[in-house]
Each structure stands twice: as C-alpha cells, then as structure tokens.
C-alpha cells in the first residue's frame, strides 16, 4: 500500500477544504467561542510587549526621580502585565479547547461515516482492497483531517491576527526598527515550512517501512507454526532486520533535518535581534526612541518567534488535511453496486420458493456461472456438487445479493431479489460458510450474533441440534466461555457447528450450507443432518459440498462444472446416469459409506 497523497488537482484540494470547513461549521457554538477567544488571546499577547516597554520607561524615571508617583506606576504596570499574561493564558486555553473540540467532533463523525460506508460497500470492493489498508486508511486519514481542524483552522485565524496586527504596530512605531525586527521572519518561515514538508515526505516513507514491519510481524505470529516447522527463524529475522534498518535510516535523516533547521531558525532570529539591538541602541543614544520602545521591539520579536515556527506546522496540517480528506472522501463518496433499488419493497415470504432462471455471472468479466436454472422449495432439499472452482459458492453468494447476476433472474416466491430491500432479503436468507468466523466474545454471544435477544433456551437448542451442547456444558464457564485469541480455541469443526447454530437460531426461511460441515467428522455430520432434516421440513435448504455423503440424501442434486449444471436428479437417477456424479461417487464412497447410502436408497 502506498500512503503518499494522491490528489494534486487544485480544484479537488479546495473542494476537500470546503467540505472539511462545512463540517466544522456545524459546530457553531464552539466556532463562535473560538473566534472570540482568538481575538482576546492575540490582543493580550500583543499588549505584553507594549506594557513591558512602558514599564521599562517608567523604571528609568526612577533614576531621574522627578516623579514621586513613579513606584506606584511601576507596581501598576507590573500588575497589568500579570493580568494580561493570565488573560492571554486563559484565552489561549479557550481557543485551543474550541479547536480540539471541533476536531474531535469531526473525527467522531468521520469514524461513523467511514465505518457505515465499509459496511455498505459491496463484496467486490472488499475483495479488491487489503483489510489492513482499509484500517490504516481509516485511522491515519481520520486523524489527519481531525488534526487539520484541531491545529490549523482556528490557529490560522490566530496567526493572521497576531502577525498582521503585530507587523502593523512595529512598522508604524518605527519603520527601520520594524523592518529589522521582522527581518528573521522570511528565512525562519521558509526553513520551518521547508523542513516540515521534507519531514512530511519522509514520514510517508517511514510509515511504509513501519507498515512492512507490522505485516512481517503479523504474518510471522499468524503463521508461527509454519515458520518454526520450516526452521525459517533466521530468514524471518533477516526480513525484519532489513525493514527495521531502513526505518532507522529514515528516522536518522529526520533528526538531521530537524536539528539543521532548528539551528538555522535560531541563528536568523538571534542575528535579527542583534541588528535591532545595534540600530535600536544608536537610536536610543541619539534620542529618537526610548529604552522602553526598544524593549517593546525586542519583546515583540520574542513573541513573534513561536508563531513563525508554527507556520511550518500549519503548512503540514494543511497538506495532510488535503491528502487525508481527499482519500477519505473518495471512499465515502463511493457508491455501492449492491444497494436497495428505487421503490424496493420488503420481501414477502409466502412459501419460500427460490428460483434461479438462466443466471449468468462473472467476477471481472470471467464467466463463472453460465445459465444456471433450478428451483428449491420448502421441504425439498437441493444439493450442489462439482469440482473446486466450478461456481458452487458463487451460487450461494448470489442469493443474499453479495453480488448481482449479470443476466437472468433470481426470485423468491415470485419476487425478483433485486426489487426487495436488502435488509428483508438478508433476514430471510442465511448462508453458513465453510470458513466460520467467530468474534472474540462468549459462546452465547457468538451464537446469538444475529439475534441478541434470543432466549437462552433457544441458544441451547441450536447448539444441541449442531452437536455442540455436550462440549459447551463441560466447559467451566459453559455458554459464557470466551472464544478467540483470549479464550478457548475451537477446532475447525467446532467453529463450523457453532456457525450453523448461529444461522438456525435466526429461523431463516432459506438456508444455504456452503461446505459448512467440511471439517466435521462423518459421524457427527450424520447426527447434525438428522437434526437439521427435522428443522428443515418447512424451510428451503441448499446444501453445497464437495463430500457426497453430505448431500446424497437431497431431493435434487445438481452437478455443476465450469458454471453449468451438467447433471441433475436424485442420487439414484444420477448413479443410473453413470456420468460425472457416478464417477465421483465411485471415487469418494468407501465400502462402509456404501452401506449407508444403500440405507438412504431404501429409505426413499
Ligand atoms: P467453488 O465453490 O465451486 O469452489 P467458487 O464459486 O468459489 O467455486 O469460484 C468459482 C470461480 O470464481 C473460481 O475460478 C474462483 O477463482 C473465482 N472467484 C471466486 N470468488 C472470487 C472473487 N471474489 N473474485 C474473483 N474471482 C473469484
């Protein structure tokens, strides 16, 4: 993945800023409060050098002793200085608070929008983009936009007010001294900005190296058994070491850029101060300005130093805001190819008859399904078998509309699934996948994932039907046992059984088992099948499997090859056909299974 900003178009950049500012404008109260406090903070900040100058002049009067009230005036000036410092602190804190608050609100809003979008984007989008990239993009880019708002939006108003008014004040007091005291600004501003931009591009390089490091570490830990069993520890260490060394080189370069520029800024500031002292000193000697006025210039320079250094930070925040915002909005604006169509209505299930009518489909132009037609109805199980890659799972994924067919139609009780709402469709259809994902949560939470309000008894029954109850009841914490990294680790078959329980708990009218018992042993699978046959009486079920024993009992079996149904019928008919199914049967079924299948034949 590349983290480098991709937007270069000016129009796009200004569009991104406008969108962020519009989001910030929603926080009206914080914004108004922030702008008012900015003027307060800048006003008191600028008053400090003026007060310092007049205090020095008053103090000089002490020596001339012409004015008896001088010490009172000095104390008064000191008090004013103290008050203005405190007020400046309070106002600065207040506008920083407003900026932070607006930035955090925007971060919160973007996080929700981004997460919502990822939930809606189609599977074809998700299969193209690395999950890690989506997470990194989410975290880094949302932070980039939020940081832009927090550090740049209000602060740029503050800097304009402070530097603008300050410049006017010093130039109008004494043009020559004013120019001298501002002489460090161009060099310092340039270096601060250039350094930040340099650091910014090396920041991207560093992030990419760190991302490689975390990928290496992640793969290493995820595949620790493979690494150890292939004795590849040294090779893995070398890979990690190389990426780590490159990251160190970039980090060292960054230190150099920082220290070189900090020194340059310091030198230019001190040189300007020396000039002000020299020329200002001469002016004091010839009486054109007072010592207090010279002090004002020097104090003003010190105050101006921080905002000038801040310019670099601002430029960085603007650049990062545009790049992060651009990338983020490009995801947020993406339309999903799978959405509710206009005027879609809720699916009304009367019987639960599912029909595929001449369905064609392909991923990226490939012909994966070529005219698939079949019908599945309640109490009439359909089995789908065929070689790997023939399109079995693809059929399963078209039913809940993970993808849409390129032609043909899929209907449920006569309603085209494209014309019903996704929510109602997905509530009626459940696909139990081979790869059963479990959340890091307790067993009951995992089983009741689709219906968190399910009764304990229903959760228990679902696990009884999938032959998991006995195992769970032997665990010390039973249904409250945690699964996942910090909990018990389940075998592949156990996960599949919990996954089936999760689906049947939802009582879907149409249920598709996509190789969902592939890791379960044959005896347990047989028990599950008996339980499911009972449950499936009034449901439409499709069983996809590469194992014939899982679907021999189906009322209709479809043998699929290269996206086409090449044989169909029940087990007996297909065996009598002596085609591909019969061939597979001979290959797969062992003598003891044969006895079982004879039993199935006799039961019919
Ligand atoms: P089966 O379930 O029969 O093993 P699939 O339906 O999973 O087959 O896959 C059918 C074909 O489609 C295969 O060639 C597979 O590589 C391809 N395929 C599956 N999923 C995707 C995807 N998300 N993107 C692109 N091609 C895919």
Please give the pLDDT value at position 1: 43
Q: pLDDT tens digits, residue range 86-98? A: 999 999 999 999 9
155 Cβ inside 6 Å of ligand 1 = no
C-alpha 434 to ligand 1 mean position (Å): 14
Q: Which residues pair with 376 in a beta bridge?
A: 354
- Quote the Cα angle for 179-185-187, to 5°: 120
Spell out the alpha helix ranges (H) of 26-141: 28-64, 70-120, 123-126, 131-136
Distance, CA of 33 to CA of 91 (rounded, Å): 10
Q: Which two structure tokens, joined as six digits, stand for 424?
A: 């109602």
Beta-ladder partners of 568: 558
Residues pairing with 558 in the sheet: 384, 568
* Other Cβ atoms within 10 Å of 139 Cβ, number: 12
pLDDT band at residue 544 using 50, 70 and 90 as cut-offs: very high
| 393 touches ligand 1 (CB under 6 Å) | yes
Burial class (CB within 10 angstroms; exposed 0-12, middle 13-18, buried 19+) of 285: exposed
Nearest CA to ligand 1 atom 16: 389
* Per-residue confidence (pLDDT) for residue 233, from 0 to 100: 65
- If you take atom 22 of ligand 1, which residue's CA is the nearest one? 363
Query: What separation in Å is there between the alpha carbon of 399 and the centre of ligand 1?
Result: 15
Ramachandran quadrant class, 542 (left: phi over 0; alpha: psi -120 to 50; beta: rest): beta
Give the closest residue (by CA) to ligand 1 atom 19. 394
What pLDDT, on the 0 to 100 scale, is given for residue 593? 54
Binning pLDDT at 50, 70 and 90, where does residue 3 land? very low
Cβ-in-10-Å burial (0-12, 13-18, 19+) of 489 comes to exposed
Classify 506 as helix, strand or coil. coil
Rounded Cα gap, residues 389 and 383, in angstroms: 16
Q: Which of 57-66, 320-329, 556-565 has the lowest mean pLDDT?
A: 57-66
Angle at 305 between CA 300 and CA 311, to 5 degrees: 130
d(CA 337, CA 390): 24
Specify the higher pLDDT residue, 374 or 303: 374
pLDDT digit string (tens) for 183-226? 888 888 888 888 888 887 777 777 777 777 777 777 777 777 77
Q: Which residue has the higher pLDDT, 192 or 533?
A: 192
pLDDT for res 339: 82
User: Contact at 8 Å (CB) between 99 and 150?
Assistant: yes
* pLDDT, averaged across the chain: 85
Q: What per-residue confidence (pLDDT) applies to 604?
A: 44
Query: How far is ligand 1, taken at its centre, from the CA of residue 433, in Å?
Result: 14
State percent of the chain over pLDDT 70.
93
**Ligand 1 touching residue 391 (CB < 6 A):** yes
- pLDDT for 391: 93
Q: What is the pLDDT of residues 142-193, one digit of tens each?
A: 998 998 998 888 888 998 898 899 889 889 988 999 999 888 888 888 888 8
pLDDT tens-digit readout, 280-306: 999 999 988 899 999 999 998 888 888
Q: What is the pLDDT of residue 151?
A: 84
Looking at residues 548-570, what average pLDDT do you find? 90
Answer whether 122 contacts ligand 1 (Cβ < 6 A): no
Distance 74 CA to ligand 1 centre (A): 85
Q: What are the φ/ψ torsions at residue 512 (nearest 5 degrees)?
A: -120, 120
Span from the CA of 597 to the centroid of ligand 1 (angstroms)? 30
The predicted model gives 459-484 an average pLDDT of 89
What's the pLDDT band for 546 if we cut at 50, 70, 90?
confident
- Specify the pLDDT at position 66: 61
Structure token digits, residue 18? 């406008």
- Please tell me the distance between residue 6's alpha carbon and the centre of ligand 1 in angstroms: 32
Burial of 190 (0-12, 13-18, 19+ CB in 10 A): middle
| Distance from Cα 347 to the centre of ligand 1, integer Å | 28
Name the nearest CA neighbour of 548 among 580, 577, 524: 580
| Ligand 1 neighbour 388 (Cβ under 6 A) | yes
DSSP code at position 436: -
Residue 373 and residue 356 in contact, taking contact as beta carbons nearer than 8 Å: yes
pLDDT value at 545 more than 80: yes
pLDDT at 103: 92
**Cβ 127 under 6 angstroms from ligand 1:** yes
């Amino acid at each position: 993945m590349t983290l480098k900003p991709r937007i270069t178009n000016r129009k796009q950049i200004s569009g991104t800023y406008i969108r962020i500012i519009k989001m910030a404008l929603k926080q009206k109260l914080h914004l108004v409060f922030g702008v008012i406090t900015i003027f307060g903070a800048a006003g008191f900040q600028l008053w400090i050098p003026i007060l310092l100058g007049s205090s020095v002049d008053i103090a000089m009067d002490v020596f001339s002793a012409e004015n008896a009230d001088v010490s009172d005036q000095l104390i008064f000036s000191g008090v004013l200085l103290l008050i203005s410092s405190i007020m400046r602190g309070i106002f600065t804190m207040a506008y920083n608070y407003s900026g932070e608050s607006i930035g955090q609100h925007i971060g919160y809003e973007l996080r929700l929008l981004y997460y919502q979008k990822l939930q809606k984007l189609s599977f074809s989008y998700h299969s193209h983009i690395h999950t890690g990239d989506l997470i990194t993009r989410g975290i880094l880019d949302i932070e980039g936009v939020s940081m832009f708002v927090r550090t740049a939006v209000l602060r740029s108003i503050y800097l304009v007010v402070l530097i603008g008014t300050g410049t006017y004040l010093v130039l109008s007091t004494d043009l020559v001294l004013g120019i001298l005291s501002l002489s460090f600004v161009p060099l310092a501003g340039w270096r601060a900005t250039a350094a930040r931009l340099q650091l910014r591009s090396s920041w991207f390089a560093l992030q990419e190296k760190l991302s490689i490091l975390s990928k290496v570490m992640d793969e290493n830990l995820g595949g620790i058994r493979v690494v150890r069993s292939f004795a590849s520890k040294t090779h893995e260490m070398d890979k990690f070491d190389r990426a780590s060394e490159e990251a160190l080189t970039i980090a060292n370069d960054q230190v150099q850029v920082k220290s070189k520029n900090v020194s340059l800024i310091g030198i230019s500031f001190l040189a300007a101060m020396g000039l002000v002292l020299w020329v200002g000193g001469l002016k004091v000697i010839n009486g054109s300005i007072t010592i207090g006025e010279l002090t004002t210039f020097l104090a003003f320079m010190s105050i101006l130093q921080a905002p000038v250094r801040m310019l670099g930070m601002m430029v960085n925040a603007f650049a990062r805001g545009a790049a992060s915002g651009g990338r983020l909005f490009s995801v947020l604006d993406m339309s999903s190819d799978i959405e509710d169509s206009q005027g879609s209505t809720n699916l009304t299930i009367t019987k639960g008859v599912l029909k595929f009518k001449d369905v064609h489909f392909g991923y990226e132009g490939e012909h994966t399904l070529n005219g698939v037609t079949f019908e599945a109805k309640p109490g009439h199980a359909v089995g789908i078998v065929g070689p790997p890659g023939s399109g079995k799972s693809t059929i399963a994924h078209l039913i809940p509309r993970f993808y849409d067919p390129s032609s043909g139609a899929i209907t449920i009780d006569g309603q085209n699934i494209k014309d019903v709402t996704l929510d109602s469709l997905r509530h009626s259809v459940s696909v139990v996948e081979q790869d059963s994902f479990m959340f890091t949560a307790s067993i009951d939470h995992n089983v009741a994932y689709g219906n968190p309000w399910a009764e304990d008894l229903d959760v228990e029954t679902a696990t009884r039907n999938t032959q998991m109850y006995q195992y769970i009841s032997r665990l010390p914490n039973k249904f409250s046992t945690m699964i996942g990294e910090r909990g018990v680790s389940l075998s592949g078959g156990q996960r599949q059984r919990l996954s089936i329980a999760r689906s049947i708990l939802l009582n879907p009218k149409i249920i598709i088992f996509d190789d969902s018992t592939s890791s379960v042993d044959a005896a347990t699978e047989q028990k599950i099948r008996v339980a499911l046959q009972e449950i499936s009486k009034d449901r439409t079920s499709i069983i996809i499997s590469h194992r014939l024993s899982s679907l021999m009992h189906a009322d209709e079996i479809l043998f699929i090859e290269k996206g086409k149904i090449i044989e169909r019928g029940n087990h007996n008919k297909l065996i009598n056909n002596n085609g591909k199914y019969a061939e597979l049967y001979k290959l797969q079924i062992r003598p003891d299974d044969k006895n079982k299948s004879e039993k199935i034949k006799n039961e019919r």
